[in-house]
Amino acid sequence: MFDRLQKPFLTVETGEAYQPIRLNYDLFQKEQLIEALNKLKCLKKNPSATSWDWFWQGECDDLRFESLDSFKKNPERPVRLGTLTIRDNQFYLNLPSFKRACLAVPLFHRLLPQDTVKPHNADFINKVFGLDERLPHGFTELFKEDELEKIVRQRLDDYHKTQERCEQAASAEEAFGILSEYTKTESSKRLPYAERYVFQPDTQDPDVAFLGFYIFLRGRELVAIKRWFGDTGYTLADAADETIEQVFGGMDIDIID
């Protein structure tokens, strides 16, 4: 453990922790999407595939990465933020950090026609990596569809069972107790190595739609970093408390921001 405390975890160029994440979109109009992507100055198409590299320039030049205040941009060599790919009638954004995912979702929601693609889910890793640690090779190795779907189904099943118990409770106090027990149990669970977040399809306001995504990822990033530094008992409940403390004038620490 002492050795780990002496070693920083792996970060990307803009300062945030390296935590691979893949955004999966439903693709409705492939040719129209390709046309829109080719027009963006922040993207550069790869010649041998239906994929684009996303750079910190053009339409996203004003994105901010406060996690590394001293970072100096070089207009001649813009930082590559991620990769966009069309494959098997799906659209993917492959990114190396939660921060970049939180910036990418609302950005491309604004830049791409609403009738071409729609965010469906995000698959990600609940850990940080050491500088000399073997990194997973590619997103196919990282994310197993059956395992991710199983986790989502179990989470939904637990939620619906709790909802049913609350509806059948004899009093509001009993329902509140059931809900509190469920929340405490969920926040104390050990996080899986890989996990999936499913976007809510009915929310039209992008600020509202993606706020839950930010909060979901921020808590998990905090847990991963705290546990890296030896705080093995740190839970999502602790992360929620820290977020509230920050928002209401606490320590003013935001890992993602």
Report the alpha-carbon distance of residue 52 to residue 42 in Å, rounded.
10
Say if residue 104's pLDDT is above 90: yes
Establish if 166 belongs to a structural domain: no
Establish if 98 belongs to a structural domain: yes
Establish if 7 belongs to a structural domain: yes
Please give the distance of CA 238 from its chain centroid, rounded to a whole number. Answer: 19
Residues of the domain holding 198: 2-141+192-247
Per-residue confidence band for 253, with pLDDT thresholds at 50, 70 and 90: very low
Establish if 257 belongs to a structural domain: no
Establish if 154 belongs to a structural domain: no
Q: What's the total number of domains in the chain?
A: 1
Report the alpha-carbon distance of residue 237 to residue 225 in Å, rounded.
15
Q: pTM above the 0.85 mark?
A: no
Asked which of 72-81, 196-205, 211-220 is least confident by mean pLDDT, the reply is 196-205
Establish if 85 belongs to a structural domain: yes
What values do phi and psi take at 137, rounded to 5? -100, 100
Answer with the residue of higher pLDDT: 254 or 244. Answer: 244
Please give the distance of CA 25 from its chain centroid, rounded to a whole number. Answer: 14
Establish if 146 belongs to a structural domain: no
Model pLDDT for residues 27-38, shown as the tens digit of each residue: 999 999 999 999
DSSP E strand boundaries for 159-218: 194-198
Say if residue 157's pLDDT is above 60: yes
Establish if 116 belongs to a structural domain: yes
The pLDDT assigned to 236 comes to 81
The pLDDT assigned to 28 comes to 94
Model pLDDT for residues 45-54, shown as the tens digit of each residue: 998 779 999 9
